[in-house]
Every structure is written in structure tokens, then in C-alpha cells.
Copies of this chain bind each other. A is one copy, B any other.
Amino acid sequence: MASASLNTKPHRRPRASDYLIASKRCELGNLERFLQMGKLILSAGNLIHRLQRERGASNVFLGSGGTRFSGELEAMIRDSDQQQTAFERELMEIQGELTLHPTSTSLLNSIAAALHGLESMPDLRHGIRRLEISAETAIHAYIDRIRHLLTVVFDAAETVVDPAIAGMLVALVNLMQGKELAGQERAWGALGFSRGRFDPALSRRITHLIDAQEQSFVVFGQFAVPDLLALWKGHHLEPYWQELQPLRGLACSAGRYRPLDAKLAEQWFALMTRRIDQLKDLEDRMEDHFHRRCIERYTEARNALAHEEKLTESLDESGYAPQPVLVICGTSHPDRAGNFTHSEAGRILGRSIMDLVRQQARRLDQVNQELNRSREALEDRRAIGKAAELLMQHQQVGEDEAHKQLRKLAMDQGRKLPEVARSVISMSGLLR
């Protein structure tokens, strides 16, 4: 009995080293979940891309009274369906992880909203094919479904609490947001060109969408890695970008004074699709980059864990020596520690564990500081989106009008846009 209790380490009491290791394991578990979030974001992004294209083509189809793009539209719908299946498969794969472990209540709820929107896609398409609904109604229905998918992306990105990779996701979600605004520009423009005219409201909408894209890309630029930022800047040197500008000009202003050649609709659609596909290419590269960084961080963290497990094990063996060992760790006055040290060896061992704990604490603190910047950027964007949504619901206006109201409020009050947005949200009880 005596020899057994000497040889086996008693595990009745919780030990510092156990919790140090648990802290490291917890980091590993987090990184695994970030990888899954990356895959979810990727498949949501793919589905969004297909729905954006389908939306644009639907508008050419509806705007032309069903004479253009009928075949293209059917091909795009098949594409969307495939991506929807892939998205749902991805959800099924991580369903256990998402629902068994408490991750993010908001994420789960936004997935519910996104799935609910997708469930009615067949009926929306049915209405479009039979020309039973207006182009405006159709475009709003698509915008709505895509917005729910983007919210899933935002919520998933918010669960990623590692500074080395969170910034990449801030860049990514802003790119996706900008791309969606470009997609809306394509859709509304397709409607105007295929009808052969832009009324003032439509032109204002296009102008707003161009401005709002820029804002998203500014934040993207602040967080994107240099290579990808350079790639994005390179897009604007390509010939198609130059060809696009006069069409944008027509859509924003000239269009309302004279009837336009309806054939411009195809040209517009092709040029904007070129633009959006390039953004999608960039999005894919960013996701790839994110995935690789996650795996790197995971490997680093796993190696660090293995190293510390070995280290604490060896410390434990000496630490459980029969001699009591005095450990003056974490004292704010290390110079005085010598006063009551009984065992020099013990002190060194004690310091080693405490050094590991402190090192981890310091790293976590810096991690949190760096994360705050990413989080604030995400939080700002989310607040603006939510506030706009509230105004849309309450005043029954479109997204562009809601954003205009927010900007006006901010200007009138001399406050920043995210601040105003937060005020709107906190007062939302009054908006009902």
C-alpha cells in the first residue's frame, strides 16, 4: 500500500499543471472549430455567388418580359441547386459540433433564418419563370435570402477568436459584403438596361450601391494581406474595368434622359459578371489562405502542447518528491523571494511551471488586445447591417434608403456611423 501510494501520483486534488495543459488543449479545440467555420463560410460563399448570378439573370429575364436569358437562367438555377446541396451537406457534417457544444446562439439562429429562406426558393423560381412576379419583388426576395446567408458568414467569423486569423476573416467578410453590393448593382443595372431606361430612383440606387461597395472595400483593404490587396488593385487596371465605367455612368444619370439600346443589358451583365467573378476568385484565395493559416496555427499549438506536456510531466515527477518544496512564484518582489526559499531546486522547478503559466497569460492578453481590433471592425459592420434591417422593417423602405437614413443621422449628429447604428438597435424596442 505504502509503496503504491508513493509510486502512483495521487490525482485527488486539482493540479496547476493539469489546468495549464487544459488551457493549451482548449486552444487546440478552438482552432479545430475555426477550420470548420472556414469550411462553412466557404460553402456559404459559393452558394451566395450562384444566387447572385441567378438574381442578375432573373432580372434580365423579367426586365425583357421573358425574351432574354431564359436558357442561361435555367443553367444557373441548376448551379445554385448544386451549391445549395453542398451547403446543406456541410451543415450536416458540422451539425453535431454546432448543436452539441454550445458555440454561438446567434450563429445557430442565423442558420435557421438562412435555411428557412432557402426552403422557398423553388416557389420563387416558379413565379419568375411564369412572369408572375415583378422584377423588383424578385430582386428583393434574392437580396433577402443572400443577406441571411451573409449573416451566417458574419456570425461564423465572429466565433473565430484567434488574432492571427480573425483579421483575415474581417477582410473576407468585407470583401463578401462588397461583392454582394456589386451583385445588387449588377441586378438593378440589368433591370434598367433590359428595360431600356433608368428612372431617377433606380439611378440613385445604383449610385448608392457603388458608394457602399467602396466603403466595404476600404475595410477589406485595412485587413487584407498585401498580396491579395495587390491582386484586388490589379483588377482596376484591366480593360473590362475601363469598359464598365461608361455603362455605370449611363446607369447613374444619363439613362433617364434617353432610351437605351436594350442590347446593353447583355454587355452590362457580362462586364459586371467579370468583375464579380474576379471578386469571387479573390474570395476563394482568401479562404484558401485562411485554411492554410489555421492548419499552421493548429500544428504550432499541437507542438507547443506536446512540449509542455512533456515538460510538466518531468516537473511533476520531481514536484511530488517527499521533501516539501517552497515555490515563490508570481510574487511581485522576486528579489525578496530568496528570503524564505528552502529548496533551490524547488524554486527553479516552481519558476518553470509559473513561467509557462505566465507566458500563456501574456500571450492570451496580447491575443485579446489584437483581437479587439478585428472584433470592433466586425461589430461595426454588424451593427450597421442590423440597424439598416430594423429601419427597413419598420419604415418599409429598401436597403439603400435605410443606409441613407443612417448616414444622414450620423452627419446631422456629428457621430460615427457605427455609433448611430448602435443607438438605433438599442432603441429598436421603440420602433415596433
Q: Quick check: is A364 within 8 A (CB to CB) of the other chain?
A: yes
- The 8 Å CB contact of A369, one of B324, B350, B426, is B426
Residues 351-388 of A contacting B (Cβ, < 8 Å)? 353-354, 357-358, 360-362, 364-366, 368-369, 386
Q: Does A9 contact B (CB under 8 A)?
A: no
| Distance between A155 CB and nearest chain B CB, rounded to angstroms | 10
Task: Pick the contact of A99: B12, B22, B115, B123 (CB < 8 A).
Answer: B22
Taking a contact as CB atoms under 8 Å apart, the answer to whether B324 and A123 are in contact is: yes
Q: Is A325 an interface residue (CB 8 A)?
A: yes
User: Could you say which residues of chain B place their CB within 8 Å of the CB of A277?
Assistant: none
Q: Is the CB of B327 within 8 A of A113?
A: no
Residues B398 and A366 in contact, CB atoms below 8 Å apart? no
The B-contacting residues of A in range 65-100, CB under 8 angstroms, are: 88, 91-92, 95, 98-99
Contacts of A103 in B (CB 8 A): 26
User: Which B residues lie within 8 Å of A124 (CB)?
Assistant: 326, 340
Residues in B whose Cβ lies below 8 Å from that of A358: 113
Residues of B with C-beta under 8 A to A101: 101-102
| C-alpha gap A46/B143 in the complex (Å) | 55
- Given A340-B133, A369-B426, does the pair A109, B332 have CB atoms closer than 8 Å? no
Instruction: Indicate which residue in B127, B133, B330, B336 contacts A116 across the interface (CB closer than 8 Å).
Output: B330
Q: Contact: B339 with A137, CB < 8 Å?
A: yes
Q: Which of A14, A20, A133, A327 has the largest number of chain B CB atoms within 10 A?
A: A14
* Given contacts A29-B102, A328-B120, A330-B144, A19 and B112 within 8 Å (CB-CB): yes
Q: Is the beta-carbon distance between A141 and B328 smaller than 8 angstroms?
A: yes
B25 close to A99 (CB less than 8 A): yes
Provide the A101-138 mask, 1 if CB < 8 A to any CB of B, else 0.
11111101111110111011011101100001110110
Residue of B nearest to A13 (CB): B88
Q: A365-B386, A366-B428 are in contact. Are A116 and B332 (CB under 8 A)?
A: no
- Cβ of A112 and Cβ of B422 under 8 Å apart? no
CA distance A266 to B92 in the complex (A): 68
A350–B115 Cα distance when bound, in Å, is 12
How many Å from the CB of A371 to the closest CB on chain B? 12
- A134 touches which of B113, B339, B361 (Cβ 8 Å): B339
Bitwise interface map of A from 318 to 341 toward B, beta carbon under 8 Å scored 1, else 0: 000000111111111111110110
Q: Closest CB-CB distance, A224 to chain B, in whole Å?
A: 22
- Map CB proximity to B onto A39-59 as digits: 1 under 8 Å, 0 otherwise: 000000000000000000000
A22 to B, closest residue via Cβ:
B99
Cβ contacts under 8 Å, A366 to chain B: 425-426, 428-429
Task: Chain B residues near A143: list those with CB within 8 A.
Answer: 332
A327 engages B122 (CB within 8 Å): no
* Complex CA distance for A20 and B147, rounded to whole angstroms: 18
Q: A340-B123, A365-B386 are in contact. Are A23 and B112 (CB under 8 A)?
A: yes
Who on chain B is nearest to A122 by CB?
Answer: B324
Once the chains bind, are B369 and A422 in contact (CB under 8 Å)? yes
A396 within 8 A of B: yes
Name A29's closest neighbour in chain B (CB-CB).
B102
Per the 8 Å Cβ criterion, residues 124-166 of A in contact with B are 124, 126-127, 132-134, 136-137, 140-141, 143-145, 147-148
Within 8 Å by CB of A113, from B12, B354, B365, lies B354
Please measure, in the bound complex, the distance between the C-alpha atom of A351 and the C-alpha atom of B222, giving whole angstroms: 40
Is A16 on the interface with B (CB-CB < 8 A)? Answer: yes
Residue pairs across A and B with Cβ atoms less than 8 A apart, 7 shown, are A101-B102, A109-B361, A144-B330, A332-B399, A333-B396, A362-B428, A369-B422
